[in-house]
Every structure is written in structure tokens, then in C-alpha cells.
């Protein structure tokens, strides 16, 4: 039997970098990770006891450098403890199904992720509660889904004698694309696992103090300007994951896709929306062993993630452990059960998809509640878009780092960002520690730490005091918008918080 053991320590921001670089080698059309699955058997079903658990300890976000910390708290902190238990995975040439249970507080929610050639879907709690991701049109979801499915399930297709070297070569090629790294050390070693020696690849490096937004842009630019390095990385990665050399035609096609994808990604990165990580370090070590037959040895897979960052997030610990107790290889039809909700596969937008559903169905209710934010932003893109005519529109989304929510549920926005979006004049008084905004008719002044603002000389009470995070002054978004005669709408769903502002002429 094969034993897999992987242990990693990583800084969360770099988990954002590596999917951009590593998953870029996954094609948009043509050959994908399914070709690697086909080398195993037509279908393999793994029965296992796999568990992903997390426990997060969040610091005082009031002293946060910037609202990236609030993004983390609102997205993850509300579920301070939980676990995902995976019980079965079925892998086919063109399909994948993962079944398990999501444990949150006192609730146990059945969950199933299934992949078809054109989409990935997640089923939560019942047959009608399905969330669909269109692979052909999803910018991030397409690449991420193939990479993680390939990494977690295609690992058993790797060759015993080549795996350690392949990981080391691919890792070194990836690091070569990343700027501003120091003290880089990589090594191929051996580890004792289950009484046997298995290959081990370890990597460590440190990163200078950088705003994550600036660093991500630097990474993207280094990839865009390094054709030779990127293609060398693609050759190594494709060989490691697919088991055969990449053709020059497909290499060039994939490289062009990467250029297009990263150019679009760069446009969405706000240099000031990410935290400064002081003394950030990344350490990773992994090991994997195979016997001659390529079967699983007694044992399991372990993944540890430890991340420390100050002052906003003091500690985070995520642990993944897996112990295979049975694996069945069967030749069964490589398909996932049909889902009635997906009869029409040509839906390009969520509103069109919802229009096909019964308004009384559970799925319709789920989408209406949880994805309302997607519907309301259909006609304009983040982070903001100005619409000619009778009004100006701006939208801000917490996920994009545009706004954050304080401990009393007040939505805060940077004063300069707001002023630039609505063509307001902004002045900063460093002596009085206050910021003044004006549209020529209305003058509003905010003082750091104060819960009062002056609107054309008259005092106005604020729901939250003015805060300084990094070099940005944050004010309550509703107060600043209404002071200038704007209409504010909040659209909050699970994991989404979108603010829409309309300014009447």
C-alpha cells in the first residue's frame, strides 16, 4: 500500500501567489488533468476517512494595518472552528465526485462536489441546494478546480523514482519567477515513513516587507516579462503532472493564455488593499512514497498550515489529515448523476439560469438569498464603474478589499478612495489630524478618533469613529455618502458584502 505524507508551513498571502503561477499551466481548452486520471483506471472510488479541520484565533482588528484583516475575519472568523470530513471520492476520465460532511458548530451538513467537463458544482444539505460553477466562463474557478483536483487525486499517478525530483524542479522553476525573495533554500531529501525511506522535497525562503498588492503586481509583471522562464516552468510542470512532454504548439497556446489571464488579473489588484506583512516567511516540506505497484501503503496524508502575522491576525492553524482504509477500483460508467437543475447548459449569467428554475424551489430560494450580490452587479464590474447619464454609480465589495466591517457592523471606506470615485476635493490637515472633502457645495470634515463630523459647519454624529489604518483614513460609508446626497444600498449574502452608491445629478 502507498503512504502519502505532506506537511507544509506557509504564509497565506503566498497561497494567493502560487495558484496564479502553478495553475496557469492548466489549459483552458484541450488536454486537462482528466488525461492524467485516465492513466489510472476508467473509474476509481476511494473510501477514506479524510478530515480537514480549522481553528482560527483573530486579533484586535481595530489596530489592523488595513482592512485585509477584516476580510479575513468576516470570511473565516465567523466559523472559528469547523471541519470537513471526506468519505468518498470517485474519479473518472471526465468526471469527479467527492462526498463528505461539513461540521460547523452543532450542525452536520452533507456535502458533495462533482465535476463534469463543463462545470463544477457543490451540493449542500439536499438534492436541490446546488451551487454551480461554469468552468468555461469562470476566470479563477476553472484553473483552481483543475489544479487542486489534479494535486489531490492525480498524485497517485506519479512515478516512484521521479516524484521527488519533479517536485524539486517544478518548485525551483516557480521560485525563479517570483521577485523579492531572499534566503531561498531547496533540497531533495529522504524521510522515514512507516519504516521506509521516501523522497522529500523541502523549500524555505523569506520575503521583504511589502504590501501584498504591490507584491502580487510585481509577481505578475515578472511572469509577463519572463517568457523563457515561464515556458521552462510549463515544460517541467506539465511533465511532472501529465507524465509526458508538452508539445511546442500547446506550450505556446498555454503561454498566451497565461499572458491574457495575468493581464486581466493585474487590473483587479488594488495596491493599497492588502496588508503589509512584516518578517513574512514561507516554509514548506513535503514527502510522498510509492511502492512498485503504485498502490497505497498503510498510512495517510497530513497537511499542516501555520501562519503568523502581526498585528491583525495573531495565529491561524489549519490541519488536514487523511487515513485511507479502503480503495476499490471498478469499471463503471464515468459519469456523475444528472442534476435536474442543469438541463440548460447554455446559461451565461446567473439571472438567466435562475429564470429557468421554479421560483418555489429550494434552489431558487438559495440562489436568490446567497447570490443576490452577483445579480445586482451584473451591469457593472468591480471595483467601480462610472455610468454616463443621470447618475454615477460605484460599488464596493468587502471581498475585493474595498471596504471592511468594524466590530459594531459598520461598513468603513477609505476617504481618499471615496473622494476619487466621486470627483471630490480632499485635503488632509496633518496638524489637526483631520480630512476635509468637498464637491464645491458641501464641505465635510472628519477628525481621527472622533465620532462627530462637520457638514457645512454643522455637527453630525457618526455611527463609528474615524479610524486610521496604515496610511488610510477610514470613515463610515453611509455617513459620508448621505452627507453628499447619495443613496446607499447594502447587499449582504453569505461570504459577500456589496455596497452600491448612486449619486443623483
pLDDT at position 443 is 92
- How far apart, in whole angstroms, are the C-alpha atoms of residue 457 and residue 254? 60
pLDDT at position 445 is 93
Same domain, 443 and 326: no
Same domain, 436 and 304: no
Domain final position from 319, 337, 355: 337
Q: Per the structure block, which three cell numbers stand in for 475?
A: 470613515
Whether residue 67 lies inside any domain: the answer is yes
Interval 193-207: pLDDT, tens? 344 454 444 445 555
For 417: left if phi > 0, alpha if psi spans -120 to 50, otherwise beta; the answer is: alpha
CATH code, domain with 436: 3.30.457.10
- How far apart, in whole angstroms, are the C-alpha atoms of residue 27 and residue 85? 30
Whether residue 344 lies inside any domain: the answer is no
Place of cell 484586535: 60
Same domain, 292 and 217: yes
Check if the beta carbon of residue 104 is closer than 8 Å to that of residue 76: no
Count of Cβ atoms closer than 10 Å to residue 210 Cβ = 18
pLDDT at position 166 is 55
Whether residue 494 lies inside any domain: the answer is yes
Domain final position from 276, 306, 337: 337
Whether residue 37 lies inside any domain: the answer is yes
Same domain, 278 and 205: yes
No. of helices (H) and no. of strands (E), the chain: 13, 24
- How far apart, in whole angstroms, are the C-alpha atoms of residue 410 and residue 424? 23
The vertex-468 CA angle with 467 and 473, nearest 5°, equals 85
- How far apart, in whole angstroms, are the C-alpha atoms of residue 466 and residue 275? 19
- How far apart, in whole angstroms, are the C-alpha atoms of residue 68 and residue 86? 30
Domain final position from 286, 311, 337: 337
pLDDT at position 92 is 59
Check if the beta carbon of residue 197 is closer than 8 Å to that of residue 190: yes
Same domain, 91 and 205: yes
Same domain, 306 and 387: no
* Total number of domains constituting the chain: 2
Check if the beta carbon of residue 467 is closer than 8 Å to that of residue 410: no
Cα separations in angstroms, 490 against 78, 273, 336, 477: 19, 20, 38, 11
Same domain, 152 and 295: yes
Same domain, 385 and 331: no
Whether residue 488 lies inside any domain: the answer is yes
Sign for the pseudo-dihedral over CA of 491, 265, 313, 305: positive
Same domain, 128 and 264: yes
The domain in which residue 466 lies consists of 378-504
Same domain, 23 and 150: yes
Count of Cβ atoms closer than 10 Å to residue 311 Cβ = 15
Whether residue 355 lies inside any domain: the answer is no
Distance of CA 394 to the CA centre of its chain: 24
pLDDT at position 371 is 42
Same domain, 331 and 390: no
Whether residue 371 lies inside any domain: the answer is no
Distance of CA 17 to the CA centre of its chain: 10
For 285: left if phi > 0, alpha if psi spans -120 to 50, otherwise beta; the answer is: beta
Check if the beta carbon of residue 48 is closer than 8 Å to that of residue 323: yes
Same domain, 277 and 384: no
Whether residue 182 lies inside any domain: the answer is no
465: CB partners within 8 A, 6+ apart: 449, 450, 451
pLDDT at position 239 is 76
253: CB partners within 8 A, 6+ apart: 27, 30
Q: b or e along 347-362 (b: 16 or more beta carbons within 10 Å of the residue's beta carbon)?
A: beebeebbeebeeeee
Whether the model pTM is above 0.85: no
Instruction: From first to last of the 505 residues of the chain, give the pLDDT tens digit.
Output: 222 222 222 222 222 223 222 222 232 233 233 333 333 334 445 444 455 555 433 333 222 333 333 333 333 222 335 566 766 666 555 566 777 776 655 667 677 776 666 665 666 555 444 445 444 443 333 333 333 333 333 332 233 333 344 555 666 677 677 776 666 555 555 544 344 454 444 445 555 544 555 666 777 788 888 888 888 888 877 776 667 788 898 888 888 888 877 776 666 554 443 333 333 333 333 322 222 222 222 223 333 333 333 333 333 333 333 333 333 333 222 233 332 332 223 333 445 556 666 676 655 665 554 444 333 322 222 233 333 333 445 656 544 455 666 666 677 888 888 887 778 888 888 888 889 999 888 999 999 889 899 999 889 889 888 888 767 788 888 888 888 888 777 665 444 456 667 665 4
- How far apart, in whole angstroms, are the C-alpha atoms of residue 431 and residue 453? 17
Amino acid at each position: 500500500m502507498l503512504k502519502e505524507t505532506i506537511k507544509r508551513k506557509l504564509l497565506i498571502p503566498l497561497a494567493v501567489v502560487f495558484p496564479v503561477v502553478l495553475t496557469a499551466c492548466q489549459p483552458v481548452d484541450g488536454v486537462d488533468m482528466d488525461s492524467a486520471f485516465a492513466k489510472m483506471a476508467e473509474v476509481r472510488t476511494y473510501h477514506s476517512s479524510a478530515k480537514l479541520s480549522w481553528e482560527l484565533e483573530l486579533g484586535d482588528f481595530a489596530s489592523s494595518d488595513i482592512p485585509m484583516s477584516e476580510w479575513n475575519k468576516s470570511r473565516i472568523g465567523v466559523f472559528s472552528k469547523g471541519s470537513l470530513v471526506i468519505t468518498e471520492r470517485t474519479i473518472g476520465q471526465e468526471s469527479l465526485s467527492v462526498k463528505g460532511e461539513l461540521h460547523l458548530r452543532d450542525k452536520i451538513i452533507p456535502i458533495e462536489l462533482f465535476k463534469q467537463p463543463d462545470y463544477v458544482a457543490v451540493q449542500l444539505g439536499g438534492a436541490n441546494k446546488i451551487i454551480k460553477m461554469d468552468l468555461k466562463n469562470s476566470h479563477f474557478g476553472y484553473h483552481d478546480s483543475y489544479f487542486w483536483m489534479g494535486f489531490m487525486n492525480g498524485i497517485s499517478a506519479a512515478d516512484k523514482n521521479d516524484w521527488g525530483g519533479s517536485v524539486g524542479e517544478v518548485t525551483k522553476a516557480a521560485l525563479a519567477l517570483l521577485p523579492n525573495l531572499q534566503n531561498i533554500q531547496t533540497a531533495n531529501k529522504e524521510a522515514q515513513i512507516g519504516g521506509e525511506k521516501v523522497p522529500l522535497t523541502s523549500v524555505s525562503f523569506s520575503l521583504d516587507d511589502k504590501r501584498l498588492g504591490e507584491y502580487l503586481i510585481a509577481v505578475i509583471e515578472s511572469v509577463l516579462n519572463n517568457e523563457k522562464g515561464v515556458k521552462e516552468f510549463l515544460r517541467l510542470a506539465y511533465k511532472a503532472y501529465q507524465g509526458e512532454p508538452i508539445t511546442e504548439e500547446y506550450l505556446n497556446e498555454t503561454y498566451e493564455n497565461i499572458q491574457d489571464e495575468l493581464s486581466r488579473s493585474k487590473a483587479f489588484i488594488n495596491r493599497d488593499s492588502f496588508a503589509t506583512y512584516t518578517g513574512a516567511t514561507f516554509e514548506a516540506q513535503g514527502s510522498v512514497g510509492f511502492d512498485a505497484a503504485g498502490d497505497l501503503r498503510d498510512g495517510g496524508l497530513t497537511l499542516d498550515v501555520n501562519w503568523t502575522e502581526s498585528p491583525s491576525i495573531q495565529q491561524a492553524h489549519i490541519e488536514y489529515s487523511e487515513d485511507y482504509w479502503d480503495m476499490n477500483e471498478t469499471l463503471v460508467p464515468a459519469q456523475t448523476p444528472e442534476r435536474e437543475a442543469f438541463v440548460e447548459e447554455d446559461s451565461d449569467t446567473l439571472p438567466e439560469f435562475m429564470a429557468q428554475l421554479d421560483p418555489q424551489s429550494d434552489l431558487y430560494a438559495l440562489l436568490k438569498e446567497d447570490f443576490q450580490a452577483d445579480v445586482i452587479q451584473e451591469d457593472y464590474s468591480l471595483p467601480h464603474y462610472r455610468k454616463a447619464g443621470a447618475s454615477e454609480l460605484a460599488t464596493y465589495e468587502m471581498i475585493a478589499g474595498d471596504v471592511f466591517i468594524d466590530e459594531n457592523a459598520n461598513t468603513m471606506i477609505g476617504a481618499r478612495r471615496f473622494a476619487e470615485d466621486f470627483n471630490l476635493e480632499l485635503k488632509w490637515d496633518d496638524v489637526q489630524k483631520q480630512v476635509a472633502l468637498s464637491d464645491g457645495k458641501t464641505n465635510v470634515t472628519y477628525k481621527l478618533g472622533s465620532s462627530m463630523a462637520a457638514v457645512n459647519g454643522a455637527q453630525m454624529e457618526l455611527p463609528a469613529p474615524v479610524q486610521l489604518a496604515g496610511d488610510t483614513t477610514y470613515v463610515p460609508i453611509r455617513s459620508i455618502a448621505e452627507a453628499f446626497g447619495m443613496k446607499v444600498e447594502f447587499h449582504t449574502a453569505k461570504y459577500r458584502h456589496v455596497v452600491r452608491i448612486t449619486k443623483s445629478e
